[in-house]
Amino acid sequence: METTDVVIVGAGHGGAQCAIALRQNGFTGTITVVGREPEYPYERPPLSKEYFAREKTFDRLYIRPPTFWAEKDVTFKLSTEVTKVDAEAKELTLSNGTTLSYGKLVWATGGDPRRLSCSGAELAGVHAVRTREDCDTLMAEVDAGTKNIVVIGGGYIGLEAAAVLSKLKLNVTLLEALPRVLARVAGEELSEFYQKEHRDHGVDLRTGVAVDCLVGDGPEGNRRVTGVQLADGEVVPAEAVIVGIGIVPAIGPLIAAGASGANGVDVDEFCRTSLPDIYAIGDCAAFACDYAGGTVMRVESVQNANDMATCVAKAICGDEKAYKAFPWFWSNQYDLRLQTAGINMGFDKTVIRGEPGARSFSVVYLKEGRVVALDCVNAVKDYVQGRKLVEAGAAPDVAALADAGTPLKELL
């Protein structure tokens, strides 16, 4: 049986960064990365942004050029899935029937797109946006003449996709079940701003609408979506549907092996799971987040995947330190660059700096008077300076905070 010192499962952001950081930190043992997708690690964010809009080609998405991995002596098993973990024997079963034993295991599998539970969810023309393949299939349908597209879910990915498609002059309807878009991640001010932006760009954005089912036609076994039926009976016509309603952490084999976890695999402050010599990082890992008052949560961001990966790589190299990285995120829609700092969980007050109408402003989130997070739209200075307020747990004067003329660095 093949034996590897470190096996990384998942060739995405976290997996790639873990291999990179292991070598950067002087690790000389063997490293194998097992990845379900056929590609070497690539950046996922452009799938709903520049790659989807054809502003970037795929070769510009690689986290490192494919030749890099051989130079660093990192072995890849691509188009291969880990189907079983035996934590006692320290052995993995792969989808090609072979086994692989490990010294340390790093689980970096991200998540699978959550599927609609209503009828019609399996029709051709219904897409997620998680992988290059998802994106290419969708782009091919747009090229083939799709005119009407429905996006289900008003989270960042759905909104970004809607922005690209409306720029491509498609008829875009965006359906959000909750009373506002971005309801789980942002305050009302930001939701309202983006709702208006999308409507101004011609997106038929509807909130508080329940999807009843997807309708389609065609021969049995090859039925294609033709529309989305709402709870009130209206059918919104669609030759294609994007479902952006979140992910389900890809942790099945690890949980089956006895790891603790439910919505994500539980990890401690060193990213260790409850199983010996098995770490978990990135979208699939649930940890007590310092920046959210110790709440156990999963954070779906490139920053979190990369920083957890580096933390684990260092630990494997003997430099074990608790994971405490500062959370940040971004989203591009139209000509708007949103940058977020911190986590706004449990905020009890928001302060607006600048003018949403001028399309450059920030929402500052406070909890018991302290700055816990910022959402900065086309406001880079606020983002750069505001991060420091979050890190310091600053409690600035609210009037000064609301005055866009007062630089945030003066409020530290």
Ligand X SMILES: Cc1cc2nc3c(=O)[nH]c(=O)nc-3n(C[C@H](O)[C@H](O)[C@H](O)COP(=O)(O)OP(=O)(O)OC[C@H]3O[C@@H](n4cnc5c(N)ncnc54)[C@H](O)[C@@H]3O)c2cc1C
3-state secondary structure of 284: helix
Contact status, residue 261 vs residue 278, Cβ threshold 8 Å: no
Name the minimum Å distance from CB 162 to ligand X.
12
Residue 60 C-beta: closest distance to ligand X, Å: 16
Q: Binding residues for ligand X, per CB under 6 A? A: 9-15, 34-37, 44-45, 47-48, 81-82, 108-110, 129-130, 157, 250, 253, 282-284, 300-303, 305, 329-331
Task: Using the minimum distance from each CB to ligand X, give the nearer residue, 130 or 353.
Answer: 130
CA distance 19 to 344: 31
* Residue listed under structure tokens 């188009």: 79
Other Cβ atoms within 10 Å of 112 Cβ, number: 15
CB 206, min distance to ligand X, A: 22
Cα 109 to Cα 149: distance, rounded to the nearest angstrom = 30
Q: How far is the CB of 329 from ligand X (least distance, A)?
A: 5
Minimum CB separation from ligand X for residue 215, in Å? Answer: 26
Given a contact cutoff of 8 angstroms between Cβ atoms, the answer to whether 89 and 16 are in contact is no
The two tokens of residue 327 are: 């959370």
* Smallest gap from residue 18 Cβ to ligand X (A): 9
Structure tokens at 24: 């950067």
Least distance from C-beta 24 to ligand X, angstroms? Answer: 17
CB closer to ligand X, 165 vs 401: 165
* CB nearer to ligand X: pick between 244 and 396: 244
The smaller minimum CB distance to ligand X, of residues 378 and 406, is found at 378
> Which one-letter amino acid corresponds to residue 377?
V
Orientation of helix 302-316 relative to helix 13-24, angle to 10°: 40
Q: Which is nearer to ligand X, 193 or 404 (CB)?
A: 193
Q: What b/e sequence results for 309-343 when a residue is b if at least 16 CB atoms lie within 10 Å of its CB, and e otherwise?
A: bbbbbbbbbeeeeebebebbbbbbbbeeebbbbbb
**All residues at 6 or more sequence positions from 206 whose CB lies less than 8 Å from its CB, including other chains:** 173, 174, 175, 176
Q: Which residue is nearest to ligand X (CB)?
A: 12
- Closer residue to ligand X (CB): 153 or 386: 153
Nearer to ligand X, 15 or 386 (CB): 15
- The CB-of-20 to ligand X minimum distance in angstroms stands at 12
Q: What is the CA radius of gyration of the chain?
A: 22
In whole angstroms, the minimum distance from the beta carbon of 82 to ligand X comes to: 4
* Residue nearer to ligand X on the CB measure, 34 or 185: 34
Q: 298 or 353: whose CB is closer to ligand X?
A: 298
Contact at 8 Å (CB) between 361 and 336? no
CA distance linking residue 282 with residue 221, whole number of Å: 37
* Min dist. Cβ of residue 88 to ligand X (A): 19
- For 365-371, the CB contacts below 8 A with 24+ separation are 365/187, 366/398, 369/395, 370/394, 370/395, 371/342, 371/395, 371/396, 371/401
Whichever of 247 and 411 has its CB closer to ligand X, that residue is 247
**Do 160 and 333 contact (CB within 8 A), yes or no?**
yes
